[in-house]
């Protein structure tokens, strides 16, 4: 639906801060402010081919120009299917991120690396990045990687992670990054599902002063990946105790010097796949979300340019890992496509102390800072003294991502970090959307603490009644959030499973993309994202599938059955609780609980470990055997009074037992 001011009163909202303009080096990218946003937005919805066609021509470099910006032409999802973009065009992602800037301005910093230990970082210019990308591209070609092959990446946050991704897309191959906090088992599943034959990793990683034995985890994973031919190992710590498989394992530094500093990019078609990124869904099996090349690049480029108002000399610090979509779009692609400088931070917000982010901001004069609310909650709790003694006057934009940001955290961010002079951009989006879909435009949109505000160009959000699927029109409505039209950076499919893609996103509500989130549109047209309506728990901005944790628990030989639910947690947003029934009685329940936590850490990764394990003799089930997680959630929230009708359960008496166990243990 087109937007108009009549429906957007903005009585209770906050204007873009004056300080944003005082700190601005020139003119914002949308100089005409709100009126211009409305005009552009309406054009983008009414005629997406024209709007995105013009932007793609203006901002991306094409080897072969495209002929049709969108197919099928027109609007919306047609015949239950999505759209393809920029047909017959050819381009290369690494050329767009690196070459075109390196050719003009080779000495400009592309990457500022902040190592785990302060003062151990370095800067990589666009010229240097181009050489490294070209050399690693040749290493991969030598290892037999071809256009359309997938390469698994399991790396810490070092500049070489960016080099790796860009080298892979330079030869038309597909990167599949696995977050280096995932366990060997999760890594193995992703390597097998993506059919990757090459893995790129490091000897070890350093985070918060701790060593992680990255390569050992890869070795463990590869025990059941017989098709992996080679492992390229970047030397991070140089540990002398590195297991090595002769013939399979190769050192990054030994291979890179075998090659010349330039190799031409392999052009791909717009719709060719640039990467896979696995994400959790409602079932136990992670989905390989598959992204295009041109559409994805355009989404990352435009949102970085407009939402964050990035200018050529800006320095973006996205404090997210390249193992998640935020790292892909706003550490790597978005900043580099715009020719800006990106900060790659290896460490944690608490090491050596809670002022680390602010030290980095001041040291490098960061202009856009972007982080998840979970980190802000940690820093707010640690005390404002860590931020107050910093200058921070370079910051124009403060972004938030990954989960709803509570109003008091928003206010703290605004007051203590932004000092009222930065635009707070609460950006709502998903792995599947590729780039921001609902977010304030810096210097343009009004904001309300806790609301992601208004849709980005080309996004036509709707609120649907969850049960009937009927569109709830007008303001002051609440339901599930869906999008009426395809946009360039949306995922194209689930790797090897188009049916699952349709079932998850396009079939639940016919004619719409279904986000899986609940949302409201308030009386002034602002969008408020309320959280997942499916079996996904958001812990510290990490998306976890309850089913995946349940399948991990079952791996323990004592576990008969389990049900995992999320519950509110002050620090992490949500935490994981696992209700577990054991196959037999045990003498040492405390010990068993510890083992169960270890099992999840081992099967998925430390970040998925349940905060609470509740041992019960049975789980509440319907007569057809479905576990009633709703009841477990209510019991945990202390809402025993509103459990609803439990008489239809096959085992109603179990509820009393669960209530008393939770009261005793939780």
Query: CB of 310: closest distance to ligand 6R9 in angstroms?
Result: 18
Structure tokens at 11: 């009585």
Q: Which of residues 382-401 bind ligand 6R9 (CB under 6 A)?
A: 401
For the range 328-332, what are the long-range contacts, defined as Cβ-Cβ under 8 Å and sequence gap of 24 or more?
328/165, 328/177, 328/275, 328/277, 328/300, 329/299, 329/300, 329/303, 329/304, 329/434, 329/435, 330/300, 330/304, 330/370, 330/399, 331/157, 331/162, 332/97, 332/162, 332/165, 332/166
Residue from 560, 662, 530, 537 nearest 610 by CA: 537
**Residue 121 or 516 with smaller CB distance to ligand 6R9:** 516
From candidates 77, 85, 429, 487, binder to ligand 6R9 by CB under 6 A: 429
The pair of structure tokens assigned to 627 is 């576990």
- Antiparallel, parallel or unpaired: β 268-269 and 150-154: unpaired
Residues in the chain, overall count: 666
Rounded to a whole number of angstroms, the minimum distance from the CB of residue 536 to ligand 6R9 is: 7
Nearer to ligand 6R9, 86 or 505 (CB): 505
- Residue 292: CA count within 13 A, CB half-sphere: 27
Residue 200's CB: how many other CB atoms inside 10 A? 30
Q: Which of 452, 564, 582, 636 contacts ligand 6R9 by CB under 6 A?
A: 452
Q: How far is the CB of 357 from ligand 6R9 (least distance, A)?
A: 19
Q: How far apart are CA 73 and CA 51, in angstroms?
A: 12
C-alpha 456/C-alpha 483 separation (Å) is 12
The tokens describing 352, both together, are 């050596």
Residue from the set 94, 414, 538, 574 that interacts with ligand 6R9 by CB under 6 A: 538
Alpha-carbon gap, residue 452 to 458, rounded angstroms:
16
Shortest distance (Å) from residue 440 CB to ligand 6R9: 11
Stretch that binds ligand 6R9, among 293-301, 303-311, 526-534, 632-640 (CB under 6 A): 526-534
- Residue 14 in 3-state DSSP? strand
d(CA 640, CA 307): 44
Q: Among residue numbers 554 through 583, which ones bind ligand 6R9 (CB under 6 A)?
A: none
In three-state secondary structure terms, 632 is helix
Query: How would DSSP label each residue in 96-137?
Result: IIIIHHHHH-TTSEEEEEE-SSTT--EEEEHHHHHHHHHHHH
Which lies closer to ligand 6R9 via its Cβ, residue 163 or residue 489?
489
Distance of closest approach, residue 548 Cβ to ligand 6R9, in angstroms: 14
Largest CA distance in the chain: 73
Tokens of 479: 């339901």
Closest contact distance (angstroms) between CB of 404 and ligand 6R9 is 4
The two structure tokens encoding residue 143: 């290892």
Both tokens assigned to 487: 């946009």
Which residue, 270 or 280, has its beta carbon nearer to ligand 6R9? Answer: 280
Residue 396 or 436 having the CB closest to ligand 6R9: 436
**Closer Cβ to ligand 6R9, 291 or 532, answer by number:** 532
Neighbours of 496 (CB within 10 A): 12
Q: Does 371 bind ligand 6R9 (CB under 6 A)?
A: no
**Distance from CA of residue 542 to its chain's centroid?**
8
**Cβ 542 to ligand 6R9, closest distance in Å?**
7
* Residue among 438 and 619 whose Cβ is closer to ligand 6R9: 438
Using CB under 6 A, which of the segments 93-101, 190-198, 219-227, 429-437 binds ligand 6R9?
A: 429-437
Residue 338 to residues 152, 162, 444, 456, Cα–Cα distance (Å) = 26, 15, 20, 18
β-bridge partners, 401: 427
Q: How far is the CB of 180 from ligand 6R9 (least distance, A)?
A: 16
Residues 663, 657: Cα–Cα separation, whole Å: 10
Q: CA-to-CA distance for 580 and 595, rounded, in angstroms?
A: 12
- 428 counts as binding ligand 6R9 under rule CB under 6 A: yes
Tell me which residues in 485-524 interact with ligand 6R9 (CB under 6 A): 515-517
535 near ligand 6R9, rule: CB under 6 A: no
544 binds ligand 6R9 (CB under 6 A): no
Minimum gap (Å) between residue 270 Cβ and ligand 6R9: 23
Sheet of 461-464, strand order: 461-464, 477-483, 513-521, 527-532
List binders of ligand 6R9 among 319-348 (CB under 6 A).
Answer: 324-326
Enumerate residues 15-74 that contact ligand 6R9 by CB under 6 A.
none
Name the CA radius of gyration of the chain, rounded: 24
Nearer of residues 66 and 324 to ligand 6R9, judged by Cβ: 324
Q: Which residue is nearest to ligand 6R9 (CB)?
A: 431
Interface with ligand 6R9, residue 430, by CB under 6 A: yes
- In the list 404, 479, 486, 508, the residue contacting ligand 6R9 (rule: CB under 6 A) is 404
Nearer to ligand 6R9, 53 or 450 (CB): 450
Tell me which of 128, 255, 272, 403 binds ligand 6R9, using CB under 6 A: 403
Number of other CB atoms surrounding residue 250 within 10 Å: 18
> Whole-number minimum distance, CB 445 to ligand 6R9, in Å?
14
- Binding flags for ligand 6R9, 277-306, as an x/- string (CB under 6 A): --x---------------------------
From the CB of 89, what's the least distance to ligand 6R9, in Å?
27
**Piece of the chain touching ligand 6R9 by CB under 6 A; list 168-176, 460-468, 538-546, 573-581:** 538-546
Q: C-alpha distances in angstroms, 12 versus 8, 425, 475, 569, 649?
A: 11, 17, 15, 29, 46
Determine the Cα–Cα distance for residues 257 and 118; give it in Å rounded to an integer. Answer: 28
From 106-114, 241-249, 440-448, 535-543, give the range in contact with ligand 6R9 by CB under 6 A: 535-543
Give the binding-site size for ligand 6R9 (rule: CB under 6 A): 24
Nearer to ligand 6R9, 109 or 323 (CB): 323
C-alpha 298/C-alpha 333 separation (Å) is 10
**How far is Cα 288 from Cα 270, in angstroms, rounded to an integer?**
19
Phi, psi for residue 378 in degrees, rounded to 5: -60, -45
Reading the block at residue 38, the tokens are: 């409305």
| Only segment of 13-21, 337-345, 353-361, 537-545 that touches ligand 6R9 (CB under 6 A) | 537-545
CB of 433 to ligand 6R9, least distance (A): 8
Strand partners, 78: 81
Q: Which residues bind ligand 6R9 (CB under 6 A)?
A: 279, 324-326, 401-404, 426-431, 452, 515-517, 529, 531-532, 538, 541, 543
């Amino acid at each position: 639906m087109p937007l108009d001011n009549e429906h957007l009163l903005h009585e209770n909202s906050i204007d873009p801060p004056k300080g944003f303009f005082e700190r601005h080096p020139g003119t914002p990218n949308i100089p005409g402010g709100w009126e211009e946003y409305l005009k552009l937005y309406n054009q983008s919805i009414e005629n997406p081919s024209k709007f995105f066609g013009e932007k793609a021509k203006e901002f991306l470099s094409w080897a072969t120009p495209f002929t049709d910006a969108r197919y099928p032409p027109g609007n919306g999802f047609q015949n239950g299917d999505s759209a393809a973009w920029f047909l017959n065009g050819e381009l290369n992602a690494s050329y767009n991120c690196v070459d075109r800037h390196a050719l003009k301005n080779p000495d400009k910093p592309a990457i500022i690396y902040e190592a785990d230990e302060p003062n151990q970082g370095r800067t990589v210019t666009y010229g240097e990045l181009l050489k490294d990308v070209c050399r690693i591209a040749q290493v991969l070609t030598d290892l037999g990687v071809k256009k359309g092959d997938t390469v698994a990446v399991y790396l810490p946050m070092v500049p070489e992670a960016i080099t790796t991704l860009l080298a892979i897309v330079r030869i038309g191959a597909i990167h599949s990054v696995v977050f280096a906090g995932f366990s060997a088992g999760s890594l193995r599943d992703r390597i097998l599902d993506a059919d990757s034959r090459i893995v790129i990793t490091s000897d070890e990683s350093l985070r918060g002063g701790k060593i992680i034995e990255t390569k050992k985890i890869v070795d463990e994973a590869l025990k059941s990946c017989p098709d992996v031919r080679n492992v390229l190992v970047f030397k991070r710590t140089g540990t002398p105790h590195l297991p090595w498989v002769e013939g399979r394992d190769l050192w990054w530094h030994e291979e890179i010097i075998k090659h010349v500093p330039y190799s031409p990019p392999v052009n791909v078609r717009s719709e060719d796949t640039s990467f896979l990124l696995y994400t959790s869904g409602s079932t136990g099996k992670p989905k390989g979300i598959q992204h295009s090349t041109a559409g994805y690049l355009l989404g990352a480029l435009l949102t970085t340019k407009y939402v964050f108002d990035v200018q050529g000399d800006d320095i973006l610090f996205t404090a997210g890992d390249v193992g998640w979509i935020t790292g892909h779009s706003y550490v790597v692609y978005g900043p580099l496509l715009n020719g800006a400088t990106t900060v790659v931070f290896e460490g944690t917000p608490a090491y050596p102390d809670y002022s680390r982010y602010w030290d980095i901001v001041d040291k490098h004069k960061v202009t856009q800072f972007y982080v998840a609310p979970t980190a802000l909650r940690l820093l707010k709790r640690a005390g404002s003294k860590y931020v107050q003694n910093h200058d921070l006057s370079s910051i124009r934009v403060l972004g938030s991502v990954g989960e709803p940001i509570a109003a008091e955290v928003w206010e703290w961010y605004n007051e203590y970090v932004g000092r009222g002079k930065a635009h707070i951009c609460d950006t709502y989006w998903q792995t599947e959307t590729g780039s921001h879909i609902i977010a304030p435009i810096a210097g343009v949109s009004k904001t309300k603490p806790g609301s992601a505000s208004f849709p980005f160009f080309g996004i036509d959000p709707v609120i649907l009644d969850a049960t009937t699927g009927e569109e709830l029109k007008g303001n002051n409505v609440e339901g599930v959030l869906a999008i009426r039209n395809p946009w360039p950076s949306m995922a194209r499919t689930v790797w090897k499973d188009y049916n699952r893609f349709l079932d998850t996103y396009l079939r639940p509500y016919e004619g719409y993309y279904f986000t899986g989130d609940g949302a409201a549109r308030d009386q002034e047209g602002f969008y408020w994202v309320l959280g997942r309506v499916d079996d996904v728990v958001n812990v510290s901005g990490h998306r976890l599938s309850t089913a995946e944790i349940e399948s991990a628990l079952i791996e323990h030989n004592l576990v008969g059955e389990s049900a995992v639910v999320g519950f509110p947690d002050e620090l992490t947003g949500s935490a994981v609780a696992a209700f577990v029934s054991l196959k037999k009685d045990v003498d040492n329940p405390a010990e068993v609980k510890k083992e169960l936590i270890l099992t999840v850490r081992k099967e998925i990764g430390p970040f998925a470990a349940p905060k609470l394990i509740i041992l019960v003799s049975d789980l509440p089930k319907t007569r057809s055997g479905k576990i009633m997680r709703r009841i477990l959630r209510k019991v945990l929230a202390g809402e025993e009074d509103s459990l609803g009708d439990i008489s239809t359960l096959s085992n109603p008496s179990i509820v009393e037992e669960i209530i008393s166990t939770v009261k005793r243990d939780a």
